[in-house]
Structure formats: structure tokens, C-alpha cells
Amino acid sequence: MKKLASLLILSLALAAPGFPAAAETVVVPRPDAGADSTDMPQRNVGAPDKPAADAMEKGDRKDRETASAAARKAERIDALFGRLANARNDRQAKRIARHIMRRMAQSGSDTVDLLMRQAAVSMKAKDYAKALDILDGVIRLHPDYVEGWNRRATVYFLAEKYGESLADIEQVLRREPRHWGALAGMSMILLALDREEDAVAVMDRALEIHPHLEDMKKRRDRIALELSGAEI
């Protein structure tokens, strides 16, 4: 188990969409974006005054800028994933993978970044309860932040709460199905649950995305060979 935990600290994740569930998982719903506008008191039904109109215009412009930045980030990540799948060698693949992970780690929020650093400190100290409390806050503040879910899935795994870990991994892959770290993490959970065949299938999917995960290749090949021998 210590070996599994040390491997998972480096990378965590779940199967690609459509892969059979490894265990019964609880789907964590996305936090509600807010109350339905029809339930709110109706105010300023006429034309807004100038300050209100200015504020609305600034808000709309900020939303457009944020959406534009998110779109550019997504385009860059898509391009990097394409390059990763076609990397010529291990050195090039590692460099591209670092760029991808760095971009996915960017939350766009100073508060979320601070909380993620605090969670990392708590994880290092093996204070998993505190780390989970902090990461709950991250997910409430930024439910679409992939690494918030991924980090919490890691903590749940380290606390040996596999069902909760798998549920969070599902949330990771809903947002980023190519998260090979999440897939690697799920394969470790499946191995811990003695589901070797499923683990091999998940590792195959991760290697389609990142073909130069050499340690995973060796582990996949070894387990596949054992399974083949067991069937003879």
C-alpha cells in the first residue's frame, strides 16, 4: 500500500468516458451556480440608471475577456495534447507534458492558488482531514478547476477512501478526459482492488494519450503477461 500511495502522489486519475465503473461511485454534483433568477425579487424593471448600466457593461466585458482567455487556454492545451501523442522521444514528451500540466494547474484565482498551496502543505504533513477541508473550499470556489478535483481525489486515495477518490476522478475526466495522471491514479486504485484486467485497460487508455509513460508501460506489460499466463 505504501508503494501504491507513493506512486499516486506523482499522478492521479480515472478511466476514459464509457469505461465500466471500477466500483460503486457517488457522482458529486456540480455546486449550484446560484438561485434561479425567477425566485429573486424583481428590481429595476425599467431601463437601468447610468451607474447600473456602466456596471453591467463592465461586467459583460469582463465575462467576455474571461471567456476569451479560457478559449485561448483550451486551444493551447489541445495543441499540446496533439504534440504529446506524436512526440518523437521521451525527452520531447516530458517537456510537452510539463507544459500541459503547468497550464492545467493554472486556476486564474489567487485565492484558489493559495488554498492549493495550503492543501499541499497539509498533504505533506499527512494531515489529510485538513487537506480535504481546504480542497472542499477550492471546489466550492471553482467547481470547473480540474486540479482541485484531482488533488482531492489524491487525498482520498491516500486516506484509503477509494469510493470517494473514484467519484472525484470521474469529475476530473468529465472536465478533461485526457488527464493521464487521473487515469494513472485510477489504475492504481484498480490494482489495489485486485481488478488487474480493468487496470490494464485504463493504462492502455493513458498510454494512447501519453505514449512515453515508460514506467506505466512496464507495469502494464508485466500485469498483462501475468494475466495471460493465468489463463493458460
- Kindly report, residue by residue over 171-229, the tens digit of the pLDDT: 999 999 999 999 999 999 999 999 999 999 999 999 999 999 999 999 999 999 999 88
Cβ atoms 116, 148 nearer than 8 A: yes
Domains delineated in the chain: 2-19+64-231 (1.25.40.10)
Non-local (6+) Cβ contacts of 85 within 8 A are 208, 209, 210, 211
Measured in degrees and rounded to the nearest 5, phi and psi for residue 176 equal -145, 90
Q: In this predicted model, what pLDDT tens digit does every residue of 5-20 receive, in sequence order?
A: 444 433 443 333 333 3
What is the Cα Rg of the chain in Å? 21
- The distance in angstroms from the start CA to the end CA of the chain is 29
Backbone angles phi, psi at 127, to 5 degrees: -90, 75
Which pLDDT score, from 0 to 100, does residue 54 have? Answer: 52
pLDDT class of 71 with cuts at 50, 70, 90: confident
**Rounded-to-integer distance, Cα 144 and Cα 30, Å:** 8
Largest Cα separation within the chain, whole Å, is 80
